[in-house]
Chain A
Amino acid sequence: MSKRIDKKLWGVLGKQQTYYSPQQFLQGKTKVPLNANPFDSWDVKRSRFNRVDGYENAVQQGGVVPQTSVPSVSPTPSPTANITPTATPTQTSTPQPTPTSTSTPQPTPTLTLTSTPTNTPIEDCYWNTNNENWNNDSTLWNDCVNVPSPTPSPTSTNTPTPSITMTQTTTSTPTNTITQTPSFTPSPTPSSTPTNTPTNTPSFTPTNTITQTPSPTPYDSAAVAYLNAIVNAGGTTSPTISAATNTFFITMRSNGFLTKTIAMYPFVGSTSASHVINANNPGVDNGTFSGGWTFNSSGSTPNGTNASFAPSNLATSQVQNYTMGVYVNQPVSSNGCMIGAYDSSIDLSQIYYSASTNTILNGVNTTFATYRNTTSQSQGFFAVSRLDGSQVVLKQNTSGTTTSQTFAANSQSLRVAARNSDGTINEYFNKRIAFVYLGSGYSDSQLITLYNAIQTYQTSLARQV
């Protein structure tokens, strides 16, 4: 062992090399003192402890630490190995100064090490092959000078320290390392981390899925009111019906049609009590059935003999801008009035099917006049609208015409599936009806939009044509 206090023949773990003090090193000496940086001088090949970060000192040290082996493990190895790892990992895993203080327990020596400044590699008090703490005879080398030597019974004194340290080191450091790896690496293949991998992967996936999924359409208050009315009336609903109804109301509202609606009867719920409900304002202007009807999930079917539906007490004469429409989801084959009324002055409002000519006869507040819409398909959404005192628009689904006609008031109340012929109900209709609409005047394009909304609704209810 050298007597120079600024250099040492380092024999740690069998490496016999001359190292210089940090001061000498700065002055041009080539070899970095081992304890300039604990990790820099860590020899993983010789130490019985492994650096948790897997970094090999030979690489880091640029070859300073020789790979030449020097045998004897001698009796020393034990304490050497124990102490070394203790200091090294403690500094590396910066986070935990705790372990050091924890290990403090009994042996005084440990306390000294702990209290020493961190920037000085004081913990790096290596042992040479003679089992001596070579730093002890140095006053300049580093702060290890105050490190008490293991004394006579180094084993007993040192053993507890390293063992405690070891426990903490291996526990804290490796744990962190392993835990972080899988969390950053989505699918680490290694078999060493299989447990962590699956755990992390699913924990991320479901979170994202749940976050994206919840985009439930908010319920329209009017839709909720209508659905509640159906249930209260003993009608049947389902998630499909609820969703379809909600979507319909949202569409109607977004197009500004709810405010144009006087009454509408979607005929949902499969019972007479639920089919009479005015969806636009449940409980107000509910309709009434008369005569022979059959109700089911597809709509309301009149018998064509004495069945009619009074949508409300509303007479078409009450408004100059007026729309009425009926969605029929069975092919029409015989004469019948889907909806209509006329008064003693023969002011007509109706949607009528003439079997002899396969013609739909529409009109709203016209003076003994109808508009003929010839079509090959005798089912779907039939609508007629008066926008003002002169214009009349008629539609079957998306096709139709617009014409001018002078306004003449009709003082009779409308009937669905029949016609109110000046107080007498006749011209009975016998095909299934799935929707009745009454509102203010619609333009041609608005009637198409209205049709699309109703058609989508019927499609969602699986009863469209």
Chain B
Amino acid sequence: MEVRLLTSQQKDQLSGQLLQIDWYFYPVQDCNGNWIISQQEIDNNVYPEFDWIKDLPKIEWCAPPPDPFPI
């Protein structure tokens, strides 16, 4: 699955911001510590000020290690 790579600065710009009413951007780190957002967030963004995310580079998703919490 492909995701979009963010810089640390871009991650801060998007964190806590709405892409639609009641729907937030949510940058997370992959297995390599890279900040990413999903393709769905880019596809569904309705705010022009965030149009730049369409130009973010694509990378393959690598899941981070599981939560150490014993389940």
Contacts and interface: CB of A to CB of B under 8 A. Distances in A.
Interface of A: 272-273, 276, 286-294, 303, 305-308, 335, 342, 346, 352, 354, 361, 368, 370, 419, 421, 424-427
Contacts of B64: 426
B41 A292 contact: yes
21 contacts: A272-B20, A272-B22, A286-B22, A288-B22, A291-B28, A291-B37, A291-B41, A294-B40, A303-B40, A305-B1, A305-B28, A305-B36, A306-B36, A307-B40, A346-B69, A352-B71, A354-B71, A370-B71, A421-B67, A425-B26, A427-B66
B68 to A, nearest CB: 9
A292 B20 contact: no
A346 B41 CA distance: 32
A436 to B, nearest CB: 14
Contacts of B26: 290-291, 306-308, 425
Given A293-B40, A303-B38, A305-B61, A273 B66 contact: no
B5 interface: no
Contact of A287 (B22, B39, B61, B66): B22
A361 B71 contact: yes
Contacts of B69: 342, 346, 421
Contacts of B39: 292
B59 to A, nearest CB: 12
Contacts, number: 79
B38 A292 contact: yes
Among B28, B64, B66, find the residue whose CB has the most chain A CB atoms closer than 10 A.
B28
B38 A291 contact: yes
A42 B63 CA distance: 109
Nearest to B22: A276
B23 interface: yes
A293 B3 contact: no
A290 B38 contact: no
Contact of A305 (B20, B38, B44, B70): B38
A303 B26 CA distance: 12
Given A361-B71, A421-B69, A290 B24 contact: yes
Given A272-B44, A342-B69, A346-B69, 15 more contacts: A272-B23, A273-B21, A273-B22, A287-B22, A291-B24, A291-B40, A291-B41, A292-B37, A292-B39, A292-B40, A303-B1, A306-B28, A306-B36, A370-B71, A426-B67
Contacts of B23: 272-273, 276, 288-290, 293
A290 B61 CA distance: 18
Contacts of A288: 22-24
Interface residues of B, number: 26
Contact of A307 (B22, B38, B63, B71): B38
A288 B18 CA distance: 10
Contact of B24 (A273, A289, A294, A303): A289
Contacts of A361: 71
A292 B61 CA distance: 13
B3 to A, nearest CB: 7
A287 B67 CA distance: 25
Contacts of A289: 22-24
A291 to B, nearest CB: 4
Contacts of B66: 335, 426-427
Give 7 closest A-B pairs by Cβ, nearest first.
Answer: A292-B38, A292-B40, A291-B26, A290-B26, A306-B28, A276-B22, A289-B23
Nearest to A370: B71
A427 B66 CA distance: 7
Nearest to B18: A288
A421 B64 CA distance: 15
Interface string B5-20: 0000000000000001
Contacts of B1: 303, 305
Interface string B28-60: 100000001111110010000000000000000
A303 B25 CA distance: 13
A277 B13 CA distance: 27
B23 to A, nearest CB: 4
A368 B70 CA distance: 9
A306 B38 contact: yes
A286 B22 CA distance: 9
A303 B69 CA distance: 22
Contacts of A273: 20-23
B60 to A, nearest CB: 11
Contacts of A368: 70
Contacts of A421: 67, 69
A253 B63 CA distance: 43
Contacts of B67: 419, 421, 424, 426-427
Contacts of B38: 291-292, 303, 305-307
Contacts of A424: 67
Contacts of B41: 291-292
Contacts of A307: 26, 38, 40
